[in-house]
Amino acid sequence: MSIIVQKFGGSSVANIERLELVADHIIREKEKGNQVVVVVSAQGKTTDKLITEEKEITDEPDKREHDVLVSTGEQITIAKLSMLLIKKGYKSVSLTGWQIPIITNSEYNNGRIRYIHNKTIEDYLNSDNIVVVAGFQGVDENGNITTLGRGGSDTTAVALAASLKAERCDIYTDVDGVFTSDPRIVKNVKQLSNVSYEEMLEMSSMGAKVLHNRCVEIGQKYNVPIYVKSTFEKESVGTLVSKNNLEDLVISGVTKDDYISRITIVGLENKIGKTYELFKILSNNRINVDVIVQSFGEYITKDIAFTVKMNDLNKTLQVLNENKDKIGAKDILHTENLSKVSIIGVGIANKPGVATGMFEALYENNINMHMITTSEIKISVLVNSNMADLAVKAIHEKFID
Ligand code: ADP
Ligand code: ASP
Ligand code: MG
């Protein structure tokens, strides 16, 4: 008997009519003779609402308590869905992350799954239950509730599929599959029938929120086939994320990631170890840095610019200002409201003209680039957020339309 893991996102479980559709998808798999594990998100915008309510108390909530609060949304969905399945004549049981348990590290708000105790789930499956699991949540070794980062229910689903050695993981969502760009921004997007883990990981990490990037990492590590498909379209063929890229596309996608800020350290002494010292201070304070650019350093001083998420901006500036003398910087500048726009495709680095085409699309639309980074598989530029959608459309049009 095969185990199938199905995951349904927030919009797929938003109300009772949609839960009925979800139940149909689950029952269809069950009736085929499979053992079914279902992972669900909080209903609709519940998680956003909880965060808004939290802001009525404080802008800087205690991280542990934040996780206790935001993990509650998923618990409501599992109970409702399980009740519905029972009403329809099926055996079903709901489980929270800590009942299973799904053990994570202790990094609140951004926990990583360490291991999953399969036995609880397996016992319920073997007694013919449909097991409904709360996504996005786990528990650390000291019994503290943790969450896996926004969009983390995808990661719960793929991690469960890996741990239970499921045949596949189906991610049901509000679009038909993975497209060459966000269908909410670009009109003429193409659906990818297949995409490799490598490309998908890059697309998710660069802002394509259709899949949480860590779920792709886990899928790749444990070779779990991931199907992304629509909850609402009966005939949805979806997209298969697996080892192979069967599409003959040079460019697999254009993405954007918002809420980025750039910090520039001006006049840093041009001495060995200065850059290391700066980034050591940041990492000691658990600040994640993304794009880094350093000026040539041909003179007595050099400038270093790097990006952090807007959420981390205040903390980063505070840490830098506290250490200004130690760093020996003349000035610390920052720019807010930037977006990273990226073009992704296997072997992009070896395809002449991709960078030029991207820069041309931006130039034709009068969009200024604040920073550029490249890798084997992507080129990213930083632009003002109010230009980001236009940039995505222009680049998509140049390469894919
Ligand atoms: P769920 O609630 O089901 O987890 P999400 O909102 O997290 O759904 O992810 C689905 C959304 O991802 C889509 O509605 C779409 O707007 C967005 N998206 C961004 N980039 C892409 C892409 N390349 N392909 C498909 N969807 C994308
Ligand atoms: N409910 C969580 C969120 O909104 C997790 C998820 O939907 O995947 O981020
Ligand atoms: Mg999601």
pLDDT score for 1: 85
Give 124 Cα–ligand 1 centroid separation in angstroms: 32
| C-beta 190 within 6 A of ligand 2 | no
What are the distances in angstroms from CA 73 to CA 26, 67, 77, 174?
21, 11, 7, 19
Give 179 Cα–ligand 1 centroid separation in angstroms: 9
The ligand placed nearest to the CA atom of residue 135 is 2
Give 172 Cα–ligand 3 centroid separation in angstroms: 10
pLDDT score for 348: 86
The ligand placed nearest to the CA atom of residue 46 is 2
The ligand placed nearest to the CA atom of residue 156 is 2
CA angle (397 as vertex; 201, 210 as ends), nearest 5: 30
Give 40 Cα–ligand 2 centroid separation in angstroms: 9
pLDDT score for 248: 64
Ligand 1 atom closest to the CA of 231, numbered from 1 = 3
Please name the residue whose Cα sits nearest to atom 27 of ligand 1: 182
Residues of the chain with pLDDT under 50: none
Please say whether the dihedral angle defined by the alpha carbons of residues 391, 255, 138 and 315, taken in this order, is positive or negative: negative
Please name the residue whose Cα sits nearest to atom 9 of ligand 1: 210
* Angstrom distance (rounded) from CA 383 to CA 389: 10
pLDDT score for 346: 84
* Angstrom distance (rounded) from CA 279 to CA 304: 11
From 173, 176, 399, the mutation candidate for ligand 1 (largest count of ligand atoms within 8 A of CB) is: 173
Please, which residues bridge with residue 116 across strands? Answer: 102
pLDDT tens-digit map of 342-376: 999 988 888 888 999 999 999 999 999 999 999 88
| C-beta 10 within 6 A of ligand 1 | yes
Name the residue ranges covered by the structural domains of the chain: 3-173
Give 232 Cα–ligand 1 centroid separation in angstroms: 14
Q: Are 289 and 282 in contact (CB under 8 A)?
A: yes
Please name the residue whose Cα sits nearest to atom 17 of ligand 1: 210
| C-beta 136 within 6 A of ligand 2 | yes
Q: Which CATH code for domain 3-173?
A: 3.40.1160.10
Give 228 Cα–ligand 1 centroid separation in angstroms: 10
* Angstrom distance (rounded) from CA 264 to CA 107: 28
In 3-state terms, what secondary structure has residue 151?
coil
pLDDT score for 251: 86
Q: Is the pTM of this model over 0.75?
A: yes
Please name the residue whose Cα sits nearest to atom 4 of ligand 2: 47
